[in-house]
Structure 1
Amino acid sequence: MFIAILEDDPVCLDQLSSLLRTASEQSPQEWRVDNGEKGWQIDSYQNARAFIRGIKRNTYNLVLLDWMLPDMNGPEVLHWMDEYFQSPPPVIMVTNRDAEQDVVEALKAGAEDFVSKPFRSEELIARVLTTLRRHHVGGKHRYEPFSHGELTVSPKEEVISIRGEPVKLTHQEYRLALLLLRNLNHPLSRSYLYETVWGQEESPMSRTLDVHIYRLRRKLDLNAENGWKLSSVYRYGYRLQRLVEE
């Protein structure tokens, strides 16, 4: 699980970070990030400029966003994300502003939820988990089989089949394919893929990810003839797209 916090108040930022890390340590295994026992990775930002640099490099499953920031306001950040990303990550506004018109403005700008300060810790974590579950991140649902076209994924067995025939994949190939298939049409950063699949940061000279992408194209027939497009996103990562309606 990768979560970003954009909050300019250092006290509140530390409070939110500590709360999420505690929740990560106490969460059941099904809510942990897919690469084992690492829990939730929390990245903190105190201004929009730093956040924009970070989200251009990294993939986040959730963003906690303050309204009043030194260089942009929360709705402006939401509008930027909506313009920059085809599928922006879900956002929970955490702010002192709680008038009805503020809630409406935030939701219209793209926020998933709205939490007023001072927030209640258990309620905030419940809203975080609900938002993640709504976007199919973590939880027991991740073990349920799902299909796209002729591909069927069986997470419990860690098997991917084409027209009912299991495909022989290495453990890392399966994990990479699972991430791409669960995030159709959404670009995933190289750093996110390395952290989640291999549990480590990318080496500057490493071609491991690119080699595995090449193998998945071939083994899973991820080509235009079969209704797929697996492409690189310049200076960011990779995106798997479904070219036909299902």
Structure 2
Amino acid sequence: MSTHHLLMIEDDARLAAMVGEYLTQSGFAVTHMLDGASGLAALQDKPVDLVVLDLMLPDIDGLEVCRRIRALPGDAGRVPVLMLTAKGDPMDRIVGLELGADDYLPKPFEPRELLARIRAVLRRHQPGAAPEHKVLRFGQLEIDRDARTVTVGGQPAELTSYQFDLLVTLAERAGRVLTRDQIMEAVRGRELEAFDRSIDVHMGRIRAAIEADLKNPKRILTVRGVGYVFAKNQE
């Protein structure tokens, strides 16, 4: 089994050293950069499997770093990003997710939780055994679970790794109403807060990618007070 290489962009050297040592002992190779510019340069210089990105950086705001990562060409622009955010500041989390981050973890945090989230993101980004029917088709919408691609009318729909898994979770259960915590538990493999608004942010991004009319969605429907349902019958 190959070692996953992580890039940590964190200006708190003491925290980075502690977390880096813990992750190294857990089998990861860790590169640490103290600011956004150095982190972006390192990412372009050598490919990594995941970026742990702090939002409070001395030179470039972490949200801007995330935006620049997603603008990079090739695999560098698709690398999973796990944000470290200030505790109790949901707006940073929402904006970060809108920019394409795959997950977030509020500070202060337990290294074990960071490790669990890193492993979960990597599992989502590198799928295991192929399902019996690898391509899900709903009218003009096609979801290829092996290639991890989505097309609408033959045109690619851009989704993050996490958003892709959210879409698959709904599509595999088409016609079944799922609560927010059921959806997030299915994707992350752990219970999360039912009222975490990040799920709504991601659903909005998925709809923007696959729906013809955002004001009148036909594929992902909101069930008020409950959650979401993926429509079985689609054109």
**What is the DSSP-based 3-state SS (H/G/I as helix, E as strand, rest coil) of the residue aligned with 1:44?**
strand
TM score, norm. by length of structure 1: 0.49
Rounded Cα–Cα distance in structure 1 between residues aligned with 2:147 and 2:59: 34
Q: Partners in 2 of 1:90 and 1:61 — Cα distance?
A: 7
1:133 to 107, 123, 126: 123
2:12, 2:148 → 1: CA distance? 33
Q: Give the match for residue 165 of structure 1.
A: none
| Counterpart AA for 2:79 | P
How far apart, in 2, do the equivalents of 1:183 and 1:53 lie? Answer: 27
C-alpha distance in 2 between matches for 1:55 and 1:21: 19
Provide closer, same or farther for how the CA distance between residues 69 and 124 of structure 1 changes in structure 2, counting only shifts above 3 A.
same
Q: 5 Å matches for 1:77-88?
A: 77-86=65-74, 87-88=77-78
The superposition leaves residues 66-102 of structure 1 with CA deviations (integer Å, 9 ceiling, x where unpaired) of 0011111111001101111344200101132431212
Partner of 1:98: helix, strand, or coil?
A: coil
Determine the structure 2 residue equivalent to 1:51: 39
Q: Residues 96 and 85 of structure 1: is their aligned pair in 2 closer, same or farther, counting only changes over 3 Å?
A: same
* 2:87–2:108 contact (8 Å) kept in structure 1: no
Indicate if the aligned counterparts of 1:67 and 1:97 stay in contact, CA closer than 8 A.
Answer: no
Q: With CA pairs under 8 Å and 6+ residues apart, which has the higher RCO, 1 or 2? A: 1
Match runs of 1:48-197 below 5 Å? 48-86=36-74, 87-136=77-126, 141=128, 144=129
The match for 2:6 is: 3
Relative to 1, partners in 2 of residues 1:118 and 1:5: Cα closer, same or farther, differing over 3 Å?
Answer: same
**Considering only CA atoms, is the larger Rg found in Structure 1 or Structure 2?**
1
CA drift at 1:182: 8.6
- Alpha-carbon distance, 1:104 to partner: 0.5
Q: Which runs of at least 4 in structure 1 moved beyond 3 Å after TM superposition?
A: 181-184
Q: 1:99/1:53 Cα in 2 relative to 1: closer, same or farther (>3 Å)?
A: same
**1:53–1:71 CA distance, 2 compared to 1 (3 A):** same
Task: Name the count of aligned residue pairs.
Answer: 130
Q: Which runs of 5+ in 2 are unaligned?
A: 132-145, 150-235
Give the aligned residue type for 1:79: R
For the 8 Å contact 2:53–2:81, the answer to whether it is kept is yes
Q: Which runs of 5+ in 1 are unaligned?
A: 25-39, 147-180, 185-246
Mapped partners of 2:80, 2:62: distance in 1: 13
Distance in 2, Cα, partners of 1:103 & 1:145: 32
> How far has the Cα of 1:183 moved from its partner?
10
TM-score, structure 2 length as denominator? Answer: 0.51
Identity %: 27
Give the corresponding residue for 1:42.
30
Post-superposition offset of 1:121? 2.0
Q: In structure 2, how many angstroms separate the alpha carbons of the residues matched to 1:121 and 1:10?
A: 15
